[in-house]
Structure 1
């Protein structure tokens, strides 16, 4: 969701005449789109702002803007800690960024604008899609849950759903542009319909999207176990273009801790969903989110989490050490677990999940899979003479580069020969190549002449880029899904 918000910000700025900055020289504008889920987000933001202070002092006219959840939370604090910031904007008014930048330049002072409710649904804003072949589509914003560890509902507001016709129209427009894979996004994506008065709206949306000609793969993230009903499982199993991949946040396997988290399900309900999904789709790849060290978590509670991990056999997991977030009920709870204890449990969980991920991936060896060729997924592709892409269940596959040209967005069929915990290898020759409209769209985008800088450039540097998560997983939601 944060990535898609950044695409919207890029689209807005390009629409206003900005151009992405090159590698040489200092940019005229740097925009930080922030998250507030974990404590290190604060540290990274202020560290990055500190690094930019001398850059701005030597580059007259440079502007710095900070938006997103952390901006919504900290508000005036950002300008107090970093007075060289020009604009602070919240989660509900990203469409105002160009005007706020202009106002800051004219008035020569920081502009802080934080709205308390959504003004315009973000999907109506211009978007600069990073991919020619895959796209994010937001179907809702906000969240109605009250998880005690999560600050996002306070920052993003109550759930608001887009009309189904608007969602489908956006998907159809994307397909017309060459996109063949979409991921439906929502803070609690399968609660879609609560704002529309239709409890089966999400399954209906999946089925309707599955009827769009030219769309080959549909994914969604992140659902909540509370709202994961049988009609959604049926829609996944019966709609050929809905991929058999599911990100289902667990958070904890202990009923006692789940209650303290205000999660509205218990262990048996969660495992029941997993069983139903696997009965309907035996090949489903299921990933999860887990928090280790929630206040009051005992060794017995942690062992319950380990039990669920063993039973569910997740393909992979986002695993987090509990981070106290000011403004959440959990931050005020007693029995905060000592850091050393949390670290030890975290290490045990990582080791168990690594073992399970590897065992599950080994089951893929010998299978023939159709892979959507990706751009930038394989960091060592150039050195190994390979390409990379995603299987239908979203597993990352590295494969031998075929003799004929293959473009991101094209499809290749390969046989899996080796499995590692976080990727698969197809070391033999590619069995077939299917050129697609998505590959055509990627090629067309590459052929466009580079835009000439028009005075002001949009800088998106990699300063302080966050480290990779310990266990790679599909993009889960922003917080307590």
Structure 2
């Protein structure tokens, strides 16, 4: 938990403190206990989870931790969030490809597609550096999906800066995005910058990003129609038309209609249709 990065808009270093890592053996034991209790999916969570282990003496970085959890605890699925682009590297991607339990889904916040805006945010990466990581991920993890965080209307963001965010989204083709209009957080370095983007412009840019992401999500999901995917079902709703709800390894939402709950099971599902951001299908196994 905690974070040693000092993004100008972020209050986490103040509220959560510096980065701290639990011993890997403690994490493995906790996951083993969860698996014994019947849990099929675990989430490794941190403000910058892939910086794990830098301050430990055991020589286990985050990629090695994923391997260890997969090998020694063996949950059906392992997810993790949130990652900083500066700590996303080839070895991590190779583990995502090779470790059977690690899901092929990477949440990698970009915040902006403009190197100028990223510099004001002190994100420690440029547009080009981020795109290089994305290219490497796609090469190593074929079929993997990407999600992100985006802030619009940050201090000093010009129309050109904003258009670079839209063009980056088009190039990466995120499965989904968490999108926010910038608002000042007291106590952050950005609170000393001039919040000079009008609220009306922030709202307009926010809507444009949301509309673009809606299209990208639909297009990504449409490519799954006709395919068979693996779904872990986590919810069942019996009001109206009974249906089981779950997610693929790539974190796509799937709904299967039918009277019997599939909660807690991993099933093969043939995808027949896309409705908004949801895949509809029928269980085949």
1:194 aligned onto 2:54: yes
1:431 aligned onto 2:279: no
1:384 aligned onto 2:237: no
1:345 to 195, 205, 208: 205
Offset of residue 412 of structure 1: 2.1
Contact 1:361-1:421 at 8 Å conserved across structures: no
Alignment length (residue pairs)? 285
Q: Which moved more, 1:410-419 or 1:309-318?
A: 410-419
Task: Name the TM-score, length of structure 1 as normaliser.
Answer: 0.57
1:397 aligned onto 2:254: yes
Contact 1:182-1:217 at 8 Å conserved across structures: yes
- In the TM superposition, what whole-angstrom CA distance separates every residue of 1:209-248 from its partner, at most 9, and x where no partner exists? 1113551000000100001111101111111110001111
> Which ranges in structure 2 are unaligned for 5 or more consecutive residues?
none
2:216 to 356, 363, 373: 356
Q: Distance in 1 between matches of 2:157 and 2:99?
A: 40
Give the number of the structure whose alpha-carbon radius of gyration is greater.
1
1:422 to 264, 269, 277: 277
Q: Distance in 2 between matches of 1:325 and 1:214?
A: 41
2:235 to 375, 393, 401: 375
| Residue pairs, 1:78-89, within 5 angstroms | none
Q: 1:421 to 1:288 in 2, by over 3 A?
A: farther
What's 1:135 paired with? Answer: none
What's 1:158 paired with? Answer: 18
What's 1:221 paired with? Answer: 81
Offset of residue 305 of structure 1: 0.6
- In the TM superposition, what whole-angstrom CA distance separates every residue of 1:409-460 from its partner, at most 9, and x where no partner exists? 112221001113421101x4x212xxxxxxxxxxxxxxxxxxxxxxxxxxxx
What's 1:82 paired with? Answer: none
Q: Distance in 1 between matches of 2:235 and 2:39?
A: 14
Contact 2:107-2:148 at 8 Å conserved across structures: yes
Q: Distance in 1 between matches of 2:159 and 2:57?
A: 42
1:266 aligned onto 2:266: no
Query: Would you identify which runs of 4 or more consecutive aligned residues in structure 1 move more than 2 Å?
Result: 197-200
Task: Name the TM-score, length of structure 2 as normaliser.
Answer: 0.96
Larger RCO, structure (CA 8 Å, separation 6 or more): 1
| Residue pairs, 1:282-361, within 5 angstroms | 282-361=142-221
> Which ranges in structure 1 are unaligned for 5 or more consecutive residues?
1-140, 433-481
Offset of residue 269 of structure 1: 1.1
After superposition, the CA RMSD in angstroms is 1.6
Q: 1:161 to 1:281 in 2, by over 3 A?
A: same
What's 2:264 paired with? Answer: 409
What's 1:236 paired with? Answer: 96
Offset of residue 163 of structure 1: 0.5
Q: Distance in 1 between matches of 2:192 and 2:176?
A: 31
